[in-house]
């Protein structure tokens, strides 16, 4: 199972919006609405921010939103803040397991 494709890095200024893409195939992202996004700060465990494509995890700011079109999922962060600087990973159910994206480093 190949990893989902994410851009290696994105950047934005405080207050701006950014979008991170996550491209899979018709066997994973395109087949199931079980796509999630995780935020990971250096030295910390990943933290769930979006699940089931669009649902925010408990306590997550509404500045974070998720969407999907065919085989590509997207995470949008609006009103960028300094604390949003982190690595972001997507994942998708595949029918027999789970596949993650390669990760995107967000610089604010």
Return residues touching another protein (CB under 8 A).
1, 3, 32, 34-36, 38, 45-48, 51-52, 57, 89, 91-94, 96-103
Task: Count other C-beta atoms under 10 Å from residue 97's C-beta.
Answer: 8
- Our CB check for another protein shows the closer of 17 and 61 to be 61
Q: Which residue is it, tokens 């994973």?
A: 28
Residue whose CB is less far from another protein, 35 or 75? 35
Structure tokens at 8: 């290696």
Phi, psi of 50 (to 5 degrees): -135, 135
In this complex, which beta carbon is closest to another protein, that of residue 13 or of residue 59? 59
């Amino acid at each position: 199972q190949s990893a989902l494709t994410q851009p290696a890095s994105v950047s934005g200024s405080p207050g701006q919006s950014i979008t991170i893409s996550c491209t899979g195939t018709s066997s994973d992202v395109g087949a199931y609405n079980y796509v999630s996004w995780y935020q990971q700060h250096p030295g910390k465990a990943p933290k769930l921010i979006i699940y089931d494509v669009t649902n925010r995890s408990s306590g997550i700011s509404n500045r974070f939103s998720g969407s999907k079109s065919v085989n590509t999922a997207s995470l949008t962060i609006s009103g960028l803040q300094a604390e949003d600087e982190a690595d972001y990973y997507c994942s998708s159910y595949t029918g027999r397991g789970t596949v993650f994206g390669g990760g995107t480093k967000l610089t604010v």
